[in-house]
Structure 1
């Protein structure tokens, strides 16, 4: 099938990250994909080699008439995360195949809340505009068999060998005695307390090698360093590394090599689950506090032990309590049990292909 996937980059490139993974995996399975995006600049580091079968197109509003006139009709339209498809493009699709509506998917945000199961795969009749009379289908990624599942490429959830992890950790600059940690976050209020703890005692008596990801995580750590008391970057207990932005596959490998992963948003928490290492999720904060319920539902699904639940609440600014100790063995066992549940379910692309084939 020919797919048109539409993406608006809001902030932090998470939307584009998900859409690129979806586009690339569809193409790897033999589909043809046109990815329409209003700002594709992040693909220069996210996917520098591109992907055969994926064409990236600039999403202008409105689309130029000459672009519309030469456009072959797609079989599937995917609006990612509630963005609106250009009316001219819908009219072009309808004019070319008036008797055959497109399969129109509204790919929604990820949540573990119970209502996702009730809303997944529900139809929404289009009442006006050039696509009036068509049906839009809501497709919800999720953590249970009654949802659309999660993105999962072949091999991404395989447990690496000890030799692979040792080689990868050395490449990342960590020594054998280090606790290797990746930090990918927004501006967590508990970050100063965590860095101060690691600076004086490491992680349970083990030196920490901290990979501070570029962008907002690096800015957040620099802000802590700028505040008194003085923050020493290279103590016996804490070493900071400042990696550059890397392609998605390299980011996934980094998570698999680490002992603990701090992740944020939607895409990276899924990658951290597949990595099977202890994780802490900085959920995207929302003004209406909706993230509080989303985080609670995720921790319920994860069957998080009390220490992991409390750490999440403090890390996300939902509790003023002190940060609890990090129990790496217990947290990793929790994540690996969750990964085993997910591996027994169909992945998102398999479900999406099946759904769209049936609706055609």
Structure 2
């Protein structure tokens, strides 16, 4: 088989890149290790920067998002059980959209299917070959038979554990990492959200986040030690702890019920440089990971897609500048988003052996945010998404 761009990974970034290139008349094949049902069963965050919203519309997959998503004009931050609001629309003229990553992926799958796009599921043993040459190719196993895809370029949209980044020699790749000494206990509840907008709460007992998926499905998080086990958290214990950490008015009005999902996720910051090696381009989690505090994971993957999509369109029109500068452009935005996610995490979480002085510094930072127009504007600019 031959294609112009072989895309490894059938998550939202790989599917979005495939859909955009299809609309530009560029042929792709997407290889995904898992089944479609498995990919759609993964629960992920759902706060979309406005640039992501516009990219999905450009790809022709924004109709259901626009009909069912929840535009948010701002967010709430809290300390000492008292909250205040930052108005994104007032500060930046932009907003964010709450629309689940699973739904984004579903819309992209439907679009690729409607266009007869080539998405090969359960492709095992994907291996990249000759990425530094002018004739790269990819091999994979399917139903016990090895297959080969010759291509012009390879897009590695296959996440942190995929083969794309691992194919870059260690003498070339530079890796930067910060592992955080705590995790997030996340739950889903079939209840109305406690707030129309997200609540980020800093507390002496630890961080908490009140989020949502839709009008009747809430997503809540608690900072917990990495040593905690799911079985140790009963539904009642979770609700009691959440109420202790969030603003008093929210704690008084929250609707509680049986939790339908619980999981504990570690937090880390990670960046790999460069994001290009020969004719291989890294996209999304294959190149970088952010803690979820700043809601940047999917959005950073979409910004990578933005740069790579335009670079490939320019290439096939005879201009290779975008190809040559893809890594530098993508990384410039990646590091700014890493900084924002790190700063939000540092400001809102309790670190082991944290001193009383450090607690006071966090509270002072939030108090400053409460009263400073400039500080609120800076946070809002980063939260709604920096320009591409």
Taking structure 1 as the reference length, the TM-score comes to 0.36
Structure 1 or 2: larger strand share?
2
Structure number with higher relative contact order (C-alpha < 8 Å, ≥ 6 residues apart) = 2
